[in-house]
Structure formats: structure tokens, C-alpha cells
Structure 1
Amino acid sequence: MTSNSADADVAVVGLGTVGSMAAWRLAARGQTVHGYERFGIGHDRGAFSGQTRRFSVQSQREPRWTPLALAALDLWRELEVATGRPLLHLVGGVILGPADAPALRAALRSAVDGGLAHEYLDAAALADRFPQHLVRPTDAGVLDPLAGFVRPEAAVVGAARQARELGATLFEHTRVLDVSADAGGVVVRTEAGTRRYRTAIVAPGARARDVLAHAKATVLPRRLVQAWYVPHDVDRYRAEVFGVFERVGDVNVYGFPTVDGATVKVGVYTEGHPVVYDTDNVPLTVGPALLSHFRDTVAAYLPGLHPEPVATTVNLEGYTTDGQPLLGPAPGTDRIILACGFSGAGFKFAPVVGDVLADLAITRHTKHDIGFLAPDRPLATWPAEVVVPA
């Protein structure tokens, strides 16, 4: 129950990927919740937009993510029941690249160690199964039958709607200026005034350093571009035969089957996505150099696609120096709980992260192993010349 001195039990700052899920999970447990969103719920200026986000249970680096992905799968299904619409499509997927690529070997190891269904494909088997990809003699692949894609916009809007139906109050187009803890709880300050809470969850995505002092040098906003291409034969890119994919190693590309029957979405990782210094004015134009890099990569490795993108989106994502998010109590207080810096790989885990945040807000404990994500872990800061423009 809310104390007499608090406006609600928990404030959730940011209602995107993680915050919408935290608000839903908190409201489902009977907590009084106030949520704050700088833009509108389901806006197009965060990390989640772009029609699809990849889901998988294999881990390419940190095996402790696999149990969280399996827990998220159950919660995705729970959200589907609550919203009455399909969100998670397990169409299967493949990780491919040089057979000795560390990410490929880690994915295989996580499948073996976790007792997960999988299949290892050498170059010949990979080329036979997925002729849509360029397969080199040194390449291999690992199949993941529990891979697929989530519909992110519908998921965020659906989770926020569920939170509201369960009693949460959500303030849209409300910019939070400061979140601070004192002996009596947490104060959230906006342009309209202040409110007090027992606990605050701060999940502002790539805009973390606009709100959190702890994130100013550790969570860097970067611009990520996704593009859509027209296949020469769209039937070769339907989910029944193509699935989701991620190419790792010397070339880093990810993509999805067609969801509209006309185009295929592909993302190309670049060396150091551009830093965004003004999160109120994110550059939306995709320049010729990046388009050329995309064009050349798609032409070489996905030859069945027309290499000129017919559409692009720009997403803003938060990257920490070690590539792992900040998830847990803020240094110095357990009244403020951080959830940011998911570095472009967090959407699949969103509902279980929301559940973890609800655990921490209510009981200060969770059954999930998240110690490796603690905000007070030793974490290098970004170099000053990167954080502050010249």
C-alpha cells in the first residue's frame, strides 16, 4: 500500500522497451504505479521501433542470459494472452559465420550447456539449408528452433495499456528532469513539479545520461540504422524457409523474414555507431557513405535482395563500455533502480527485465541471476573525447 507521504508506490521513468514492461509487472502485483514518458507511448524515437526485434535463447557471449531468455519466453506468452494479440513468432533462426568465430562458438556452447535444441551445420549443410546467404567454405551455422521475432511497437503499447487497465497512471509527453533519493523515499522532478515515491525505476533507454548522473560517462547514446530491401523472389524469404539470422565474425549482419510479403529487413553493424550528443535532435538522414556500406554488404552476402534499400529507420540505443546493461540498485541507494544501456540486444528480454525490476522495487530481491549486470560493478567510463564532442 502507498504510504501517506508518497504519491504512489513506484515511479517508472521511461515507458519504452523496459519501462512499459516494468509498469505492467508492478501493476499486476497490485502496486500503485506512476509512469513517465518523455514522448508518447509507442513513439518512434527510441530503441524499439522498426517492426521486428530478434528473439533467441542461445547466447553469443554471456551464458547467464540464456535462463533469462527462457523466462522471457513465458512472459511474452502471458502478455499475448493479456493483450489478445500475437507478439512473439518463433520461426526459428540461424547464427552463421566463420566456424571459429567466438560468437558462433559461444552460441553453440550455450545451446549444449543449456540442453537446448539446436543443430550444427557445416558449410555444405548451411548452403543447402539457406541458399539465400553467401556461404564460404570456412563458414558454419548453429540453428536455434527457439529463435524468432517480436513485434516491438505492439508489445510496448500493449504492456502500457495493460498497466493502465490494472490501475497505473501514465504521464505521456512529460520530461523528467531529476530523480533523487532522500531519507523519506524518492523525489521525481518534472517541468510540472515534483512527486514523491517509495521507489523509482529509471529506464530512459539511450537517454539515460539526460536523467542519471551515474550514466553520464557510462551509457553512450548511439545511432543505429535499419533498412528494408526488395527480394527478387519474395517466397524465398518467407518465415517457413528463411527465419531470422545473424551473421557474426568478420562480417556482422542480422535480418528477418518478410513480414509484409514485400520487403526484408536487414541491419548491418558498423564499427562504432555514431554518437548522438543531442538526444532532442537526433540526425535522421542516412548519409551516402553508410548507404554505400549497406549496399555493398547486402549485395555480397544476401545476393537475392535488390541491394538498394527502399526504406530506413534510425534508432537511438544506449551502449555501455562492456556491452552489458546496468540493471539493479543505483550506487549508494536501493530506492532508485536502474535499467539502461541494453546496447541494442535487450528487447528479447524485456518482460523478464520488467519482472526483475518489479521484484527489486517490492522486495529488493529477485530469483534471477543478475549480479553480472549490477550498476556498481567495475565499469570503465567512455573516454572524454567520445562523451563530449570536440
Structure 2
Amino acid sequence: MTEVAVIGLGAIGSMTLWRLAQRGVVVHGYERFGLAHDRGASAGQTRRFSVQSQRERRFTPLAVEALDLWRELSDVTARELFHQTGGVIIGPEGTPALLSAIASADENALPCELFGANVLRSRFPQHAVRDTDVGVIDPLAGYLRPEASVATAVERAAALGAQVNLFTEVLAIEAGEDGIRVVTAAGRQAYDRVVLAPGAWASELVPAAKTVVPRRLVQAWYLARRPADYRPEVFGVFERVGDVSAYGFPSLDGATVKIGIKLEQHPVVDDLHHVERSVGVDFAARLATVVREFFPGLHPDPVNLQTGIEGYSPDDLPLLGLAPSDPRLVIACGFSGAGFKFAPVLGDVAADLATNGSTARDVSFLAPGRL
């Protein structure tokens, strides 16, 4: 029987562990920190889900399948992990991201509506809509609970027989005739296949992942002037694209609203063991300028700021496939801030690769060898 190790139990690793355990595979998971920790890319209470793709339209079929798997995990564990609120993408007419979102929906016969500025102002008064703005509606959109999702997937995998090793750092991965050896402080253990999913730490373990660059991101929460206007029933997830890059969610606590704003390229983290967690006043002030202009119903100064680390590839597309140097190693990293919504199906793809060496899904455009 095939024995598999999964290195890293964040979004992708936890789902890979679940999908392998679901198949009855002997699988061991390794996580250097605790369950659903805040040191990687899966913290911050919420993650946006949408079936529409703004960058790569081949993701849309995967998103549709991921939605089914999110619901399956929720049903089998009696935990509500996905909340369908509907969503909107707003930006200047003709913005490539908007055109891609519309095309991805049309190509897959998914519901999608395009509205002009006046309709947007009427339907979404929480947003400051410019005359040149249009909006694309995705009724299937919503938000996921990342910490709960990671913990639920790992717990479900353990219930199905997976061995979970928390607070266990993998020091090295060695290729040998007896298999791929995972080296920890406790010793070495050989596996038939190893799935590498340690997020921003990937480059420390495998040469094929040296192109994955760790970057520091900031998420912020703002007080709503009228909290009732931001309830999930009336305010869905959103993204603003074009000359302004922002995303956000309805209020979960009845007081604050989470908004993510990209001011420039996220800074590179040079030392993953000593990451600056504080956010400077100047940076918060720059965020406030955007909030003040585009979200007038929120107090512009954040009441909470949280940093995270994500692994970015050179072309912002994930690395998912067999390692060019050794097909016994499955690389699953470099998701560039856009992997969580797809996590269950990408985990299932990794499980395919770990058990069969191939997958029926079209993920050739994510092959690590392209870089």
C-alpha cells in the first residue's frame, strides 16, 4: 500500500491530508506549528470565494468543483465553513480583470450579471461608485472561514486514520532507493510519495521551489458607522480592481468590516524566522486614504491589523505537479494569495498525483517545470 507524507498542514496541505485519508491511503501529516496557526497564509477569519476568475479562466471549473467539496466537508463534519452571500467585482469599464471574470462565467454557463454605475450605487450603497465604474455580480460567491476549515480538514483526516504530527519541523527531504525520506528531530522515515505544501517555507526544502518568494501581507478591520448596513444579508463579499486593488467581507461581529488593500507589491520576507509583525502608522494612514475614498460608511482608521505570509511564484500561478527532479515528490505551493478558495480540489489533485502519478483535471498550466 502506498504511504504518503504531507509536509505543511495549511490550506492545501490540510485538504490533501483529508482527500488522501478519504481514499484509505496511509498518510502522515507534518506541521511545524500548531493546528490552524497564524504564521502563514490561512489566518484572518475570512477568505473570499468566487467561481469567476480574474486572472486565469482555467481556474473556474476547479472553483466549481471546490464549492462541492467545501459543502461535502461541511456536511460530513456539521460545521458551516462556507457562507454564500453573493459578491461583486467593481472597477473601471474595460478593466482586464472584469472582462476575464465575465468570460470565465460565460464559458462555463455560470450565472453572471454586469451593471453600470447607477445600478451599482442603488444596489451597493456601501461603495463609492465612480461614473466610469461597472460591476460584475457573482451570486455563487461568499466567504470561507480559514482557521475552522484547516482545523476541520485535519480533524476529519485524523478521524479517517491519518497520523498528524503537529509542532514537528521537517528539517530535510532526502531521495533514496527506499523512498523519499522525511527528516525531523526524531529521525528519518521513508515514504513512497511526499506532498510538499509548506507555503512560504517551500524554498527551504526543495530546489524546485526556489522560485517561490515569501511575501508579507496586511489585513485590516474597520468600524462601521451603521453596522446594520454591513450584515451578510445585505452586504456580500467584494473586490475592487483596476487602478485600486481592494477586497472585503461583510461584518461577522456586528461591528467591524475586514478590508484588504494592496498599495503596491507586497514586501519580500528575507527571514521567515524573524518576521516583522507590527504595522507602521504611515502604512495605516495610506490604507485610511483608500477607505475614506471608496468606503465612506467605515471609520478610516483601522481598529485591528494582522500580518500574514504567503508564497508567491514569478507568474502568480501556483506550482502544482510532480517535481521535475523526482516524480515521487508532489509540489503544491506558490499560490500567490489566491489558493484558499480552491484548496479542497487542489488537495484532491495533489492526492491524485500522490497515489496515481497523474490527474484527470486540467492542471498542466500549473506544472512546476514551467519555471
TM-score band, normalised by shorter chain: over 0.9
Which residue of 2 is the match for residue 172 of structure 1?
A: 166
Residues in 1 aligned to 2:181 and 2:351: alpha-carbon distance in whole angstroms: 19
Which residue number in structure 1 is paired with residue 142 of structure 2? Answer: 148
How much is the aligned-residue C-alpha RMSD, in angstroms?
Answer: 0.9
CA distance in 2 between counterparts of 1:306 and 1:47 reads 26
Choose the corresponding residue for 2:347, options 305, 330, 354: 354
The counterpart of 2:99, out of the listed 69, 82, 105, is: 105
* Aligned residue identity for 1:189: V
Q: State the match for 2:254 in structure 1.
A: 261
- Deviation at residue 153 of structure 1 after TM alignment: 0.5
Q: Deviations over 1:206-241 (max 9, x none)?
A: 11112222222x110000000001110011111121
Partner of residue 385, structure 1: none
Instruction: Tell me the alpha carbon deviations over residues 7-38 of structure 1, each in whole angstroms, 9 at most, x when there is no partner.
Output: xx000000011101101110110111111001
Report the 3-state secondary structure (helix = DSSP H, G, I; strand = E; otherwise coil) of the residue aligned with 2:57.
coil
Which runs of 5 or more residues in structure 1 are unaligned? Answer: 3-8, 380-390
AA partner of residue 369 (structure 2): D
- Residue 309 of structure 2 is aligned to residue 312 of structure 1: no
Q: Write the distance in 1 (CA, Å) between the matches of 2:91 and 2:34.
A: 39
Q: Name the CA distance, whole Å, in 2 between partners of 1:348 and 1:16.
A: 13
Match of 2:34 in 1: 40
TM-score normalised to the size of structure 2?
0.98
CA distance, structure 2, for counterparts of residue 211 and residue 299 of structure 1: 43
Whether 2:318 is the aligned partner of 1:321: answer no
Listed one character per residue, the Cα deviations across residues 237-294 of structure 1 (whole Å, up to 9, x for unaligned) are 1112110000000000100001111110000012111111111121100012211111
Distance, in Å, in 2 between the alignment partners of 1:365 and 1:329 is 8
Mapping of residues 71-82 of structure 1, within 5 Å = 71-82=65-76
Provide structure 2 residue ranges, at least 5 long, that are not aligned to the other structure: none
- Whether 1:376 and 2:366 are equivalent positions in the alignment is no
User: Could you say what secondary structure the match of 1:24 adopts?
Assistant: helix
Identity among equivalent positions (%) equals: 57
* One of 114, 130, 136 as aligned partner of 1:136: 130
Q: Structure 1, residues 87-124: CA drift from partner, whole Å, max 9, x if none?
A: 01110000001011110111111111221101101111
Measure how far apart 1:183 and its partner are: 3.0
Q: Show CA shifts across 1:24-67 (max 9, x none).
A: 11011011111100101111111010000000000001110000
Aligned partners of 1:362, 1:166: CA distance in 2, in Å?
17
Is 1:290–2:283 an aligned residue pair?
yes
Shift of 1:84: 1.1
* Alignment partner of 1:214 is 2:195: no
SS in 1 for 2:202: helix
Q: Deviation at 1:340?
A: 0.3
Contact 1:75–1:352 (CA<8 Å) still a contact in 2? yes
Q: Is 2:347 the partner of 1:367?
A: no
Aligned residue identity for 2:360? K
1:198 is aligned with what amino acid? D
Residue 81 of structure 1 deviates from its aligned partner by 1.5
1:14 lines up with 2:11 in the alignment: no
- Match of 1:353, SS state, is helix
Q: State the one-letter code of the partner of 1:299.
A: R
The whole-number CA distance in structure 1 between the counterparts of 2:209 and 2:23 is 29
Q: Is the Cα–Cα contact under 8 Å of residues 253 and 268 in structure 1 kept in the other structure?
A: yes
SS of the aligned residue for 1:295 comes to helix
Contact 1:181 1:336 in 2 (8 A): no
- Superposed, 1:192-207 pairs within 5 Å as 192-207=186-201
Which residue pairs with 1:237 in the alignment? 230
Residue number in structure 2 paired with 1:89: 83
Which residue pairs with 1:127 in the alignment? 121
Contact map agreement 1:56 1:69 (CA 8 A) in 2:
yes
Q: CA deviation at 1:180?
A: 2.7
Letter of the structure 2 residue corresponding to residue 119 of structure 1: E
8 Å contact 1:225–1:313 — kept in the other structure? yes
Whole-Å Cα distance in 1 between the matches of residues 165 and 122 of structure 2? Answer: 52
Match of 2:268 in 1: 275
Select between 140-149 and 278-287 the one with higher mean Cα deviation: 278-287
What corresponds to 2:175 in structure 1? 181
Please give the alpha-carbon distance, in whole angstroms, between the structure 2 residues aligned to 1:248 and 1:182.
48
- 1:35–1:171 Cα contact (<8 Å) kept: yes
